[in-house]
Chains A and B, each alone.
Chain A
Amino acid sequence: MKKIVLLIIVTILGACSTHSIVTDKPQTIKSITVTPTLIWNKVPSNLSIGGVPTWTADGISLNSLSFFSDIKDGKTLIKATKKEQFPIFKADMLPTELVELIESTLAKAYEAKVLSSGNLKPLKLGNDDGFEYTFDFVAGDELPRRGYIAGAVKNEKLHIIFYQAARLHYYDTRVGDVRDIIKTAAIKE
């Protein structure tokens, strides 16, 4: 199922579920707490990337904000069957390696191709040392997209906030709010 181009919704699975509102109050997603400043829509789980909690502003074919949390050493980023060889997270990975992990997972799951990458920088996620990273990619619908990631490894577990949107117009509409959200982020002890 993961092989279906998720980012452009060819999946018919979710056609009967609904979105709910995400207000500008503190939101807790597993071990991550964030407070958005703009209103988002919560995507039904069967429409989201790897079943991971995801928000959208204009529809997931245009933009999405996903939260990966509590990924343990030895696990893949998204659920994979035994046949699929997804890369696994190791607790001693450095940000450069975590970027490889994410790009490689996207490539394997959605035939995503990275078009350009850059700006890997240290970033504080709450009180924890983490990183941020921006890259351009395309998936099956061949619409150029931009991804922005903030992540950190805390107590040997990986937490990632992943924003992606159509590079033309839509990325800019919410990236400011995403950066603000990340400023408010905290990872549970």
Chain B
Amino acid sequence: MSKLVLAYALVMLIQPINAEEFLRVMPELTTNYQPDTSGTEGGIWLIMKDAEEALKNSPSRINDPELDAYLHDLICKLTPEYCPEIRIYVIRRPHFNATMAPNGMMQIWTGLLLRAKNEAQLSAVLGHEIGHYLRRHSIKRFDDAKFKTSLFSFLTVGIAGAVATGHMNLNAGRSVLDISQFSMYASIFAYGRAHESEADKYGIQLLADAGMKTEEAAKLWESLTAEFDAANYKKPKPSLFFSTHPAPKDRIRKLNAYSRILSSRLDKEESLGLKAFQERISVHMKTMLSDEINLRQFGQTQYLFQSLLADGISPGLVNYFLGELHRIRKEEGDFALAKQYYEEAKKYEDHDPELYRSLGIMYLKEKNYTLAHAQFSDYLAQLPEATDREMIEYYMTMGR
């Protein structure tokens, strides 16, 4: 008898962590919640109202009604009860981020759309943000003095500035889109570890309830970590993602554990949602890839683009932009690599005519005039409306 007890005890001891019970997370928010206007929260909602007004018509906003509708549908899959009060804004920013304000305003940055590989991965992030929202995490922080200081100095610096300079337009104050004040931004959007864990858990619960593949949540953080490692930064570089979401290894482990539990409870095939997702964002690929290049973070961007290539995403465009990366970086071996990628891009239907111009410029600098002229001719032929036609024609006179 005692041997059995011992054996049982041993089994219990070495039982892996992922056998814990998955207790459902419940929303703390009532639907159509409105704050008391006399408190701090009321003041924050006021600022958020101004910010949302600015966002609506911001040139930084990607105004694609089909994309907005698709994203809203996704959110309704995740939380049918609360989705009517959530407003979505896709913001053109080449950083992995999504935020949700306590008043239901959600921002999704293009850097996230570029990195999510499918609907499930995107929904993992959206679900995480909804988790913060439904558990009122940001509201719970309002009593924290340090948080308040950061938030107000970030969002309302325009008032202080206004006193001195009289700057008063609709966008008075630092734009909520402005990430230049990095440390302040990070401290605003960095929830405590407990809240982050809870949001992860809520998010993956929402994924499971919506019938999406829960293992994708951990996969997304894994690829992000790999991308950041590839960047090979000598000193810790400010990354919005990593400064707001600490300890990726731990959360990856937990998410994998949750996924195993939740998947085992499902009786149907989980969806990935690849086709619909790729279709919706394909029209924005060129903008997103171009914005990445402009960051001039070549190590990180190279990893990301290679990963897109490996997944077969927009091969014509990705090869072209890999060419651009090497052409602009100008390190040893980049010249040859750039030419290689441009030539590769030509093979695909979705290649961009600009690649001919880039190739032409490279050949021109090598003093390979015949080849240069051929590329420039192709460029002008493929892009008759080229706005730099006169300059290209000038290039074609060089070396004669």
Contacts and interface: CB of A to CB of B under 8 A. Distances in A.
A–B direct contact (CB < 8 Å): yes
Interface of A: 3-5, 8-10, 12, 15, 85, 87, 90, 92, 94-97, 100, 103-104, 107-108, 111, 113, 115, 117-122, 131, 138, 140-142, 144
27 contacts: A3-B180, A3-B181, A4-B180, A8-B167, A9-B167, A12-B161, A85-B297, A94-B365, A96-B391, A97-B361, A104-B294, A111-B179, A113-B60, A113-B92, A115-B59, A118-B388, A119-B387, A120-B387, A120-B391, A121-B388, A121-B390, A121-B391, A122-B390, A122-B391, A141-B169, A142-B59, A144-B59
B328 interface: yes
Contacts of A87: 296, 328
Interface string B64-101: 00000000000000000000000000001000000000
Nearest to B397: A122
Among A92, A103, A107, residue most surrounded by chain B Cβ atoms (within 10 Å): A107
Contact of B388 (A12, A85, A90, A96): A96
Interface in B150-173: 157-158, 161, 164-165, 167, 169, 171
Given A90-B330, A100-B328, A122-B390, A10 B54 contact: no
A138 B60 contact: yes
The listed residue with most A CB atoms (<10 A of its CB), out of B169, B171, B179, B391, is B391
A83 B59 CA distance: 28
Contact of B178 (A92, A103, A111): A111
B175 interface: yes
Q: Which of A3, A96, A107, A138 has the most CB of B within 10 A?
A: A96
Given A92-B365, A113-B60, A119-B387, A15 B164 contact: yes
B190 to A, nearest CB: 20
B189 interface: no
Q: Interface on chain A toward B: helix, strand, loop, or mixed SS?
A: mixed
B394 interface: yes
B180 A12 contact: no
Contact of B357 (A96, A121, A131): A96
Interface of B: 54, 58-60, 92, 157-158, 161, 164-165, 167, 169, 171, 174-175, 177-181, 294, 296-297, 328, 330, 357, 361, 364-365, 387-388, 390-391, 394-395
Contact of A142 (B171, B361, B365): B171
A154 B394 CA distance: 18
A156 to B, nearest CB: 15
Given A15-B164, A94-B395, A140-B171, 4 more contacts: A8-B167, A94-B361, A111-B178, A138-B59
A131 B394 CA distance: 11
Contacts of A119: 387-388
Contact of B361 (A9, A15, A96, A144): A96
A115 B287 CA distance: 11
Nearest to B365: A92
A48 to B, nearest CB: 16
Contacts of B174: 10, 140
A115 B164 CA distance: 31
A142 B54 contact: yes
Contacts of B328: 87, 100
A5 B365 contact: no
A3 B185 CA distance: 14
Contacts of A131: 391
